[in-house]
Amino acid sequence: MKVLVTGARGMLAHALVPVLEGAGHEVVGLGRGDADVSVPGALLHPVRTFKPEWIFHLAAWTKVDDCEADPDRAHAVNALGSRNTALVAAECGAALLTVSSDYVFDGQASQPYREYDATAPLSVYAASKWAGEQAVRELLTRHIVARTSWLFGSGGHNFVDTVVRRARAGEGLRVVDDQRGSPTWTRDLAVMLVRLAEASQFGTYHVSNSGDCTWWELAEYAVRRAGLAVPVEKTTTEALGRPAPRPAYSVLSNLMVERVTGQRMPHWREAVDRYLESRDHTS
């Protein structure tokens, strides 16, 4: 199939494009310089020229604290950008896959969130992603909304790389231990997204690596697996004092996506192991 990818310079696209191409699909990737999705009509020419069967909409502003300081930009990119992409997909007859976030939930749950659980965004970033989801649902029948969480991977800044780099430099590490979620390797996510699209399994899905942990537990595991002995100190969200609120619990249930595709998402520890090994081979 022919697939157009927005946000093609980002970390998820860095994993997704090779997976698509490896599966035999024809891919065109667009970065912000090629087409700014926040501008209505910016995608029309490339979509009309390429005539994709699918648009994978990855373009987003994901700096949560920066979004809190600039809500207009956050909604222009994450909400209006998704709406503009859905309008173009509808006009050109393409199906649309858009990526959303675990942060659309308020973190008050005590068991993994299902797709039909009530959302309650706490931050500007979360609200803008929720608005983007809604725009896609309203404008396009043939869509997939894929919520994911705590991404790490090559091709962009991510938490795993940051803590390992700082540990190797001998820097002290203080990491929050009161936010719980599911770390997700972009490679594993990309593989599942392609399976969903190939099967034309439309709807809303939660797609993350299985298992859950706190940010401190993730940092501790990554540092140890990298062969480093630097201590990782626990702290709290309140002590860290970040501008944007985060959900204390945002673990996602993969039950629906695994039932639909017949494939299980690997555990986050296994994903971290494979990611660190891949980084060692390419560094």
Q: Who contacts 32 (Cβ-Cβ below 8 Å, separation ≥6)?
A: 7, 9, 59
Alpha helices in the chain, H assignment, sequence order: 11-22, 44-50, 64-69, 71-74, 81-92, 124-139, 159-168, 186-198, 215-225, 237-240, 255-261, 268-282
- Residue from 103, 113, 125, 249 carrying the catalytic annotation: 125
The Cβ of residue 209 has, within 10 Å, a number of other Cβ atoms equal to 27
Determine the residue type at 252.
L
DSSP-based three-state secondary structure for 87:
helix
Q: Who contacts 83 (Cβ-Cβ below 8 Å, separation ≥6)?
A: 132, 135, 136, 139
Long-range contact set of residues 31-37: C-beta below 8 Å, sequence gap at least 24: 31/7, 32/7, 32/59, 34/8, 35/6, 37/6, 37/77, 37/81, 37/82, 37/84, 37/85
The answer to whether the beta carbons of residues 221 and 213 sit under 8 Å apart is yes
The answer to whether the beta carbons of residues 207 and 193 sit under 8 Å apart is yes
Q: Is 125 a catalytic residue?
A: yes
**Among all residues, which ones are annotated catalytic?**
125
